Structure 1
Amino acid sequence: MATARASRTQRRTRIQEEKEEQILEAALEVFSSHGFRGSTIDQIAEVAGMSKPNLLYYFRTKEAIHGALIARVLDTWLEPLRAFDAKGNPESEIRSYIRRKLEMARDFPRESRLFANEILQGAPNVIDELKGPLKSLVDEKAAVIRTWAKDGKIARCDPYHLIFSIWSTTQHYADFDVQVRAVLGEQQSGQGRFEDAARFLEQLFLGGLAIQP
C-alpha cells in the first residue's frame, strides 16, 4: 500500500506529520464526494489550503494519497470484527458488533463512502487486502460463529452471509444517510436514528439466530 513520500525520509518531523494529515483530511473530503476518478490533485490541494507543488512533496500522485487513505480506512473498519471474541457470549458479541458498526457509520460517514466507491470501482487499490488479510479475518470469525452454532448457542446459519448482512445494514446509515434522513423526516432523522437502528437490528439478527434480544 502506498505511503507518504515524506514518511520515507530519515527523520520525520512534526510539521511533516501535520502536513500529511492535512492532505489526507482534504483528500477524504474530495474523494468521498467525487470518487477517485472525479477527483484531482488540484482539488485536494485547494481544500488542503496549499500549493500543488507543496502537496506533491508529501504525496507524489493522486494514487498514493488514495492508497494511504484506503489503507487507513480498511484498518479502522475491521477493528470491530477483530474484537469479535470467540470466548465471549454470542449475544453480547453480536450485539456489540452491530452497535460498533453503527457507531462507525455515524462517526465516519466519509470513510464509509470512500470505501464503498473503491469497491464499486472493482477495488483496484485494495483487492490484495480483500483476498488476503480481510478474507483471513472473516474466515477466522466465521469459524467462531460455526462453533457457537455447533454448541447450540445460536441457530445454525451461514456465517459469511451473517457478517455480510451486518455490514450492509449498518453501513447503509452512512452510505445512504441522505435517503435515510429524507424518508424518516425531521421528527425522526436526528442522532436518535442510530439508536433506533441499533434496537431494530439487534431484534432482527438476535431474533433470527434464536437468541432472546
Structure 2
Amino acid sequence: MTREPKKPTVVVLDAIDELEQPDQLRTLLPRQLPHGLVLVLSGRDQGDRSCLSDIALSPADMSLKLRLGGLDEAALTALLRMAGRAAGELANDADFVAQVHHVSAGDPFYVRFLVEDAAAGVLTRDNMERTPTGLEGYLDQQLEQLNRSAHRTEHVEILGFLLEAGTLSARDLYNLVEGLNWLNFDTILREIHRFLLVDRRASPGLEPGRGSEEYTFCHDRFRQYFRVRAGIG
C-alpha cells in the first residue's frame, strides 16, 4: 500500500461498513497512494452516516465516488429467469415483478430471498401481497415460521452459538447442541441454511470429511439482525 507496485495493481476492500474495529484500517491506508496502485472501497451508508468517516476519510479524499442504487425491474426480471423453475414463469408477469420491486426497494439481499422463494414455489402471485416491505419484516416473518418448527430449540441453540463464536464446524455444533448429530444435521439445518455460509474445507485439526465443514452467517446484516432479536448488544 505504500510502495509502487511492479505492475499496475487494483486493491479492492469490500464492505468496509462491516468492520467491527475500523481503526485498524485507518492505520493501513496511506494518505497518498503510490503510482500504479488503485484502491477501490465499497460500503453501505446508513442514514446520514458515511462509512468513510469510520476510517477517517471523506468523499473529498476519493478520486471518484459512485452511489449505486437498488436493482431495477429489468434486473429483477433477469434474476427470476436465471433462477428458473416457478420463478421463470413469474418473470413474464410485469405486475408480479413490480410488486417484488416495491416490497424489496431493489435491496439485493432481500431480492435474493424473494427470488429463491419464487423459484421454490413458496412465493406466488396469490400470496405476493402478504410479503412484508423491507428485509427486516421478511426476517421477522421467517422467525415466526421457525418458532413453529419442530426443531425450534435446535435452531435457537445453533444460531446462538454462531452469534457468540462467529464460525463453528459441524462437529463443533454436534458437541454443543444436544441431540444434534450427523444423521439429523442436514434436516435440522435446512430451515436456517439460507442464512449461513458453508466452507467445506476441513477445519484446523480436523480431517476432511463429514463434520469438518465450517458454518458462519452468510452476511453481517443477518448476523446483526439475529443479535438484535437475541438481545445481544
TM-score (norm 2): 0.27
- Please say which structure displays the higher CA radius of gyration: 2
Higher relative contact order (CA 8 A, sep 6+): 1
More strand by share: 2
